[in-house]
Structure 1
Amino acid sequence: MDERPVDAGALINELEGHLLIEATRGEGRAEAGRFTRQFGWLTDSQRVEIEERFAEAYVALAGVSWRRTVQRGAELRGEYEGAYRVLRRRLVAGWLVGMGLLSAVGVVVLSLVRP
């Protein structure tokens, strides 16, 4: 048995992935059935073959969509992290300028109060 600790997060992600794929396969099969019902002239073997191909294409298209979503999410994350860094720098710079001004005003006030 492997002595490495189990990464619960990775295990959950893998399980969710399997469940998502199975749910998509089920949706694909259901859509394939609805699609082939409109063709009453198909033989049973033709219907089965079309349903299988339709379901495979459905899952493949879902996979493409998921990869695009992941890619766009990564792009957006990079954009927002960049914007966050800029805003954080501005905030820190503003705070430092404000503290500098406050200190300068304090020095001036103290010099005026003490003759």
Structure 2
Amino acid sequence: MSKYPAGTVAWAFDPTDAHDERPVIILSHENRPFSSVECTVMCLGTGAKNYDHYAPELENECLSGISFASTTYLMPWALYTIPPGAIQTGKARGELTEKGERLVKKALITLFSV
């Protein structure tokens, strides 16, 4: 089984059950306990701008090796622990650039803001 480094952008079976699949950012997998059965992801979405929460756009310069046809947003409130087998190996995969990593970190920090 492959272990994915933090910052990997991949497709997974949708942990929110809103769709069959959705893109996710892997936040923690290779360097965590129980990595054979779980990894932590942040969901991405195309309609997240419509919510009353901070949902920054994941611009193309935030990504390397993957791009999306539609405008895609981070969903920092949608953090899930999923089995590594839920990550689809036959689909496109990429990684966050340094700018993308900063954007994800900022989005996670907003969860602690008042």
> For the superposition of Structure 1 and Structure 2, which TM-score range results when normalised by the shorter chain?
under 0.3
Please state which structure has a larger fraction of its residues in helix: 1
TM-score (norm: length of structure 1): 0.21
